Amino acid sequence: MSETTTLTILSTSDTHGFVLPTNYVQRDGTQPFGLTRAATVIDTVRQQDPAHTLVVENGDFLQGSPLAYYAVKGTAQSQPSLLTQAYNAVGYDVGTLGNHEFNYGADYLRQALATLNYPLAQANILDEAGQPVFGPAYQLIKKGGVTVAILGLTTSYIPHWESPDHIQGLQFADVVSTAEEWVPRLQKLADVVVIAYHGGFERDLTDGAPTETLTGENKGYALAQIPGVDALITGHQHRQLAGHVHGVPTTQPGYRGEMVGRIDLTLTRENDRWTVTDSDAQLLPTGTAVPQPAITQLMAPVQQTVEDWLDQPLGRVQGDMTIPDPDAARITESPYIEFIQTVQMAATGTDISGTALFNNEGAGFGATVSLRDVMTNYIYPNTLAVLRITGATLRAALEKSARYFQPAPNGAIGVNPRFLHPKPQRYNYDMYHGIDYTIDVAQPMGQRITALTYHGQPVQADQLLDVTVNQYRAVGGGNYTMFGPQQIVRENQKDMTELIADYLQAHPVIIATADDNFRVINSSK
């Protein structure tokens, strides 16, 4: 008679350092997410059958929140344990790395990883000799007599976004070829093979149609086709997904701990070998879970310190620099965006600058500007780069940004759904200052820039221009393939949070202005 058992695999991904249930926009604000809520959900499930429960941290935990930033920059020396102590308290069995782990450089990453109390699996980030750098390729873990192999993979697209200094000497191997190499080996060592992949899905999960340009950034659909994979944990896209792809149970638990992924495997033992005979995948919401008391208490001192640090005043605004309607601020220049452009140009010595309104959560600046306002509006640790490009390249970048829009009924201007689904990518629509231009969404894509001038004169295709953008964009991030490292002529290594704070301290009163140098129109009305 055959024997059966079960294995439950829980996962978090893309928590981005949001430990407590706050987005930091307001002091002591409460939100329906956070690692402490996720930890309560994990504890509840694990307590039901701890011997058969495996918990995985799937990457992008080290960057994203003011707490995570404080651990790097808030004290005289970086103290990653201020953040990682919370992750250590969750009780993870294994973790892997996300792309944002590299945002503060490899030295800080290594410093942070040394503070973790759970092992890592990471197979496709290699040194120059072709060996895994951040832990072994896989971990073998026994759960209730079942040997589980966890293969860790990270999107190989990191060189298209990250500062070259942060990833010097590293190679990012293709995740599919890496998995094809390792999965057959792991089948000989383990009863169950799980891929923990910090990456998402490139195709529709039902019909296989591409859902994005197939750049290689996301390869979850292809990974699920590899024979021998019993479960697939994904992330990176911040999507909420649970189901089966090619028969493989898979999850993607959103963002900031708003969900916990759960995969349940039923195994049958025959001829001294466990085989998966049934599976289920679901997401467990965390929004109503009580924040885990032990982690909340553990983090209380540093949380208080971070809240005080965020509330330090930096300057005042004369006029209105709020963003009541983020969508409108992308169509007509807002004073907040003009201010960011001013900071960027002052920091790099150019008179053309491009930036984005990264999401719809930032409210702009009120009458008094604190560090909290800066960090909850400018949410990424970007540094700046100056590109020397031709007018033709600038026009190509503007056309790329213009794809963000689509014509709507009655002459209105809508948002291209490809920038909203499967993952919101508002950060890939750039607005420029120092030039005057018009986007006509009624025109075909690639022909929407109907006017483009610099100092009142039409921009010529072969005209050389120095343009400031963030480093992510400068190396071609967001599929801005017209840009690249070879065009960078200088950089400012201070991140934008510091540059904005420095500018405010040097200019204690800033005047809200917008020169309306760009227009977005729908000429079909």
- Alpha-carbon distance of 85 to 481, in angstroms, equals 39
CB 59 within 8 A of CB 200: no
Once rounded to an integer, what is the mean pLDDT over residues 471-490? 96
16 in the same domain as 90: yes
CB 12 within 8 A of CB 257: yes
Query: Helices then strands (H, E): number in the chain?
Result: 13, 29
Once rounded to an integer, what is the mean pLDDT over residues 294-299? 99
149 in the same domain as 125: yes
199 in the same domain as 161: yes
Q: Say how many domains are in the chain.
A: 2
199 in the same domain as 185: yes
Q: 3-state SS string over 344-409?
A: HHHHHCCCCEEECCCCCCCCEECCEEEHHHHHHHCCCCCCEEEEEEEHHHHHHHHHHHHCCEEECH
pLDDT band at 1 (very low <50, low <70, confident <90, very high): low
Average pLDDT, the chain: 97
- Alpha-carbon distance of 154 to 158, in angstroms, equals 9
Once rounded to an integer, what is the mean pLDDT over residues 291-302? 98
Contacts of 64 (CB under 8 A, 6+ apart): 15, 16, 17, 18, 100, 256, 379
- Alpha-carbon distance of 267 to 230, in angstroms, equals 11
411 in the same domain as 292: no
pLDDT band at 304 (very low <50, low <70, confident <90, very high): very high
Once rounded to an integer, what is the mean pLDDT over residues 296-307? 98
3-state secondary structure of 290: coil
253 in the same domain as 233: yes
pLDDT of residue 29: 85
- Alpha-carbon distance of 294 to 150, in angstroms, equals 28
pLDDT band at 271 (very low <50, low <70, confident <90, very high): confident
Of 454, 458, 464, 457, the C-alpha closest to 390 is: 464
Of 121, 250, 140, the C-alpha closest to 187 is: 140
385 in the same domain as 241: no
192-198 and 146-154 strand pairing:
parallel
3-state secondary structure of 1: coil
Amino acid occupying residue 284: L
Query: Cis peptide before 422, with omega less than 30 degrees from 0?
Result: yes
Once rounded to an integer, what is the mean pLDDT over residues 244-251? 98
CB 83 within 8 A of CB 67: yes
Of 287, 245, 263, 234, the C-alpha closest to 60 is: 234
242 in the same domain as 173: yes
Given a cut of 80, whether residue 2 has pLDDT beyond it is no
Of 96, 90, 82, 101, the C-alpha closest to 37 is: 90
Domain housing 355: 312-521
288 in the same domain as 354: no
Q: In whole angstroms, how far apart are CA 348 and each of 190, 424, 431? A: 54, 29, 17
- Alpha-carbon distance of 518 to 285, in angstroms, equals 42
- Alpha-carbon distance of 373 to 339, in angstroms, equals 13
278 in the same domain as 202: yes
CB 192 within 8 A of CB 267: yes
224 in the same domain as 159: yes
Amino acid occupying residue 95: G
- Alpha-carbon distance of 6 to 144, in angstroms, equals 9
pLDDT band at 208 (very low <50, low <70, confident <90, very high): very high
- Alpha-carbon distance of 467 to 388, in angstroms, equals 6
CB 70 within 8 A of CB 106: no
- Residues 133-183 have pLDDT tens digits of 999 999 999 999 999 999 999 999 999 989 899 999 999 999 999 999 999
Of 126, 144, 130, the C-alpha closest to 49 is: 144
413 in the same domain as 454: yes
Of the residues 262, 278, 306, which one is the last residue of a structural domain?
306
- Alpha-carbon distance of 354 to 360, in angstroms, equals 18
pLDDT band at 349 (very low <50, low <70, confident <90, very high): very high
Given a cut of 90, whether residue 422 has pLDDT beyond it is no
- Alpha-carbon distance of 116 to 87, in angstroms, equals 8
Amino acid occupying residue 285: P
- DSSP, res 309: H
Of the residues 306, 341, 375, which one is the last residue of a structural domain?
306
User: What CATH number is attached to the domain comprising 143?
Assistant: 3.60.21.10
User: What CATH number is attached to the domain comprising 504?
Assistant: 3.90.780.10
Q: Could you tell me the end-to-end alpha-carbon distance of the chain, in angstroms, rounded to an integer?
A: 74
Query: Could you tell me the pTM of the whole model?
Result: 0.93
Q: Of residues 503 and 28, which shows the higher confidence score?
A: 503
Of 397, 395, 422, 417, the C-alpha closest to 405 is: 417
Once rounded to an integer, what is the mean pLDDT over residues 275-293? 99
Residue 297: HSE in the Cβ half-sphere, 13 Å Cα cutoff: 3
Of the residues 306, 331, 350, which one is the last residue of a structural domain?
306
